[in-house]
Amino acid sequence: MFTALKVKYAAVRDRKITTLFDTSRAYDFAVQTDGLFFDYSKTNIDRETLRMLLELIKTAGLADKRAAMFSGEKINITEDRAVLHTALRKSSGAVTVDGQDVMPDVLATRARMLKFAEELRSGALQGRGGAYTDIVNIGIGGSDLGPAMAYLALKPYSQGPKVHYVSNVDGAHVTDVLAGLDAQTTLVIVASKTFTTIETLTNAETALRWMGQSVANPADQFVALSTADDKTAAFGISPDRVFGFEDWVGGRYSLWGPIGLSLALAIGADNFTAFLNGAAAMDDHFQSVDGADNLPVMLALVGIWHAQVVGYATRAVLPYEQRLSRFPAYLQQLEMESNGKSVGIDGQDLTVPSGPIVWGEPGTNGQHAFYQLIHQGTHIIPCEFMIARQGHEPDLTHQHQLLQANCLAQSQALMLGRDLDAARAIAASKGFEGSELERQARHRVFKGNRPSTTLIYPKLTPYCLGQLIALYEHRVFVEGVILGINSFDQWGVELGKELATALGPVISGAQPGHENDPSTLNLVSKLTHG
């Protein structure tokens, strides 16, 4: 599938991106929809390459597989499950799984969740000490990264209780979060589909003991996001405070339903609904627009070109928005857990690299940290810049304009670079001469010709955040379809969890653990005996 594209790349690999710009490239190599503008003109993709990339989605059968996902077919074949996170943000219509329309239950759960959120926000629901002032969300992976990222992103809309997130089983995390909170006005949310996630349940039990020091019935101030009614009941959580979700919702895709309860408590029902509506609008765009005008498709095809054709092993996601500081971490799980596979749907080894390493930090901090490597390092790293047209601080417009200037300057510098003659002139202006001038000049050369994309969005509102998350979800799906990967399982996390469970008794001294390898046993000894 990629052979012709690799031949094409070999023919143009030394071409300057700047030579591709004619009178229309900046307009033609861009996608615009519903306030979002995606520019990929600063890549080495030309019109012939674009045509070849678009052929990939036809060869892979994207249209049929997209329809299968939205209609409720069981496309997660290793777990025999439908993939219907998109149903969680629908407001109407039917979606059938195993002959049954799932939407009535989805809408009923959403209504119950948002009613709970509004009653708590209004003070109608209170803790032992009165109206709730703080929410502690205990989860891990998708039960933490999504809501924690979104809560920070939508801070300007947060007028409810303060929300805190605990994920790490390291006791320092739960201790530091609970320190200073009033147990009598704190609600704890335990997010675990099976209610067996060891890290989450360990932290939940610690929080229960903490609350029990000052609250007579501490479980009364707990909420469960789980499908295991028997286990939540055994924990002491009332059934009316348990919000379940179906097995066709994967953890990293679950923010749209009950896992988003902490966000709904913070921003309120109306804003949470706007968040869902933004994602639903992106769903509609993804389904209704074809080819180069489809934003998730083009984001995916640019990623495929860089990772699978050119061979760049990583990509950096660089939001020039402080409140999106956790967005790269969220995408790390979304993309690498989804497409970090070595076996295709057919059970055969992949013949091309799978998903790239995804990383990043918000600008402008990164400019004073790792941008040195991006600009002058030996590894070429495609960069995905993100920037808003408008910030939330109208009295600081000049700072937002400076932020925008920095964002655009970085993509420009990556493409243009600085040649040796220009570097010589700079060195000469500083008084260097002869061989020292040459040496100094070399340090000031930027090779340039490094690819980047830029995504512009209007303003980071709940609706816009919904759009952005759904955009990247669909990008992952498209890349997975092209690669022949099941993007909705995560067997790679299982072995470590199994071994951790087995090693627990060895570290505590309850079992000798002789079946373990010598290195691990030696490390256990060093941990337990020094």
| Average pLDDT for 521-525 | 94
- 184 occurs within a structural domain: yes
Q: pLDDT for 300-321, tens place per residue?
A: 999 999 999 999 999 999 999 9
pLDDT over threshold 80, residue 476: yes
Query: What confidence tier does 512 reach under pLDDT thresholds 50, 70, 90?
Result: very high
Whether residue 1 has pLDDT greater than 80: no
Average pLDDT over residues 442-469: 98
Question: What's 8's domain CATH number?
Answer: 3.40.50.10490
Say yes or no: 483 and 505 in one domain. no
Same-domain pairing of 62 and 145: no
Question: Is the alpha carbon torsion for 81, 85, 88, 89 positive or negative?
Answer: negative
| Same domain for 391 and 369 | yes
pLDDT per position as a tens digit, 99-150:
999 999 999 999 999 999 999 999 999 999 999 999 999 999 999 999 999 9
**DSSP secondary structure string for all residues of 467-512:** HHHHHHHHHHHHHHHHHT--TT--GGGHHHHHHHHHHHHHHHTSS-
200-254 per-position pLDDT tens digit: 999 999 999 999 999 999 999 999 999 999 999 999 999 999 999 888 999 999 9
Can you give the pLDDT at residue 530?
A: 84
Tokens of 52: 């070849």
Q: Angle 263-269-274 (CA atoms, 0-180°, nearest 5)?
A: 85
User: Given 368, 398, 443, 514, which residue is catalytic?
Assistant: 368
Query: Is 284 domain-assigned?
Result: no
Query: Do 128 and 49 share a structural domain?
Result: no
145 lies in the same domain as 182: yes
What's the mean pLDDT in 398-414?
A: 98
Q: How large is the average pLDDT for residues 59-67?
A: 97
Nearest-angstrom CA–CA distance, 227 and 514: 37
For the stretch 317-350, pLDDT in tens is 999 999 999 999 999 999 999 999 999 999 999 9
Task: Report the pLDDT value the prediction gives residue 245, as an integer from 0 to 100.
Answer: 86
Together in a domain, 419 and 511: no
- Does one domain contain both 198 and 186? yes
Count of domains for the chain: 3
Q: Are residues 202 and 66 in the same domain?
A: no
> So what's the pLDDT on residue 460?
98
Is 337 in the active site?
Answer: yes
CA distance readout (Å), 486 to 77, 362, 479, 482 = 7, 30, 10, 11
Helix (H, G, I), strand (E, B) or coil at 384: strand
One domain, residues 353 and 479: yes
Query: Integer distance in angstroms from the first to the last C-alpha of the chain?
Result: 54
pLDDT class of 472 with cuts at 50, 70, 90: very high
For the chain, the average pLDDT equals 96
Residue 497: the pLDDT is 86
Are 517 and 525 contacting, i.e. CB atoms less than 8 angstroms apart? Answer: no
Query: pLDDT by residue (tens digit) across 159-202?
Result: 989 999 999 999 999 999 999 899 999 999 999 989 989 999 99
Domain that holds residue 520: 495-529
Residue that is written with structure tokens 């509506």 in the block: 277
Q: Which of the residues 246, 337, 384, 473 is marked catalytic?
A: 337
Residue 345 lies in a domain: yes
In sequence order, what are the residues at sequence separation of 6 or more whose Cβ sits closer than 8 angstroms to the Cβ of residue 179?
Answer: none
Query: pLDDT digit string (tens) for 30-50?
Result: 999 999 999 999 999 999 999
The verdict on residue 434 lying in a domain is yes
Tokens standing for 203? 């932290």
C-alpha 367/C-alpha 369 separation (Å) is: 6
User: Do 269 and 334 belong together in one domain?
Assistant: no
Q: How far apart are CA 243 and CA 240, in angstroms?
A: 8
302 touches 475 (CB < 8 A): no
Task: Evaluate whether 42 touches 411 at the Cβ level (below 8 Å).
Answer: yes
β-sheet bridge partners, residue 36:
33
Question: Does residue 118 fall inside a structural domain?
Answer: yes
Per-residue pLDDT, averaged over 363-382, amounts to 96
Specify the 3-state DSSP secondary structure of 396.
Answer: helix
pLDDT at 259 over 80: yes
78 in a domain, yes or no?
A: no
pLDDT for position 101: 96
Conformational region of residue 72, where left means phi above 0, alpha means psi within -120 to 50, and beta covers everything else:
left
- Is the pLDDT at 401 greater than 80? The verdict is yes
Question: Do 336 and 261 reside in the same domain of the chain?
Answer: no
Same domain, 335 and 224: no
Select which of 155, 436, 497, 498 is catalytic. 497
